[in-house]
Chain A
């Protein structure tokens, strides 16, 4: 699987290249600025891009903007954005086009290589990988008042959270130590309670959930 990587700190870039290559990814370009990232994305059209939000020359959200611009020109280009912090504002911008293939994770998630690589693969396959922190923030908003989320049982809320992160039914079942059938039952309950149209594809599910949370 071909990857374009953008990270300005040498140590992290090096570490990420090594990590990805040890899981049999092919890093076709490892760049360190916003403009070179956009160029590399357009030139290589990789299977997935792993991008740091903050990049030179401005050291602002250069990476995020380059990724969004690349997706405007190459619709559906899978991008996993890494950051030292997660913002709902950026999450919403990334998800705005509704086409999937989007990830937004804290850099800490790299500490768990298996989980991180799983997220990269999920994004490359057109799925989503939202950081649990983003999901928690999205949920926190609704908890305040008697929003529709309060109609869910605690278990259903757990399932919804994992769904919003982009996990598949199998992954959710494993995480919560329940059967996949139970997960399917929970999800259909959730969709009914939230008046969302039922859908089989993982990605469409996530987008529906996130659209609803907006």
Chain B
């Protein structure tokens, strides 16, 4: 075998091996999207009911609560960024990081200090490489987050917002995650969790209510509106974080499936063009051999013809 041909053959073998891996990863990711989507759907009733309850308390009572009222001049904000633990998911993590950077920029422009809370090894690595301060980070569960993980993430955030700003607490709580729109579309989005933007929630609720033709009833609170709100808001934060984690997990799998699909397609194309080249090289080798034989034979014939005379 010619040297050229051998090189092509080796490269084809290498690309085929890579293709097998990317194909397997694509199929694993595809099967996990379904599972992740199901988890998002299963968490929906709780989230909807909880949002409803929070809206009811916030609009139905005149209680002033630290977590619902906006601070006059907020000076510190916490940003929770959700990225993935593993790479090979296209632009998934970097899109979320970019969104967080934009949000941080905006908050800084508004004169607020930003504390970074990060989920996922990729985000931690990004901040670590740039030697930025990370307030807290969690890794190891972005593939399939459980409610306990969301609780773990929520605990220091709730503590931070309940602490006075002067003592190292924060005034606002923002979250950056990747919204799962469909198999093909995932958007990195940011949103403010606390203080609750009541105008937004009540307007949304009112639209919904108008559609259903009902008004939020006047609730009786047990034991009291303050206590209910005290108990409700941490759960609300946890549920929001849980939902964000689940959506991010679904998005991560979808992004990975897409990235691996294009990698598999590229590998296929590469194999095709490499085998064309290998075929051409083999053909050239054969042609050369034939012309060598023919040339050799005719040289021999010439030589014998010469010696005969």
A binds B: no
A interface residues with partner B (beta carbon < 8 Å): none
B interface residues with partner A (beta carbon < 8 Å): none
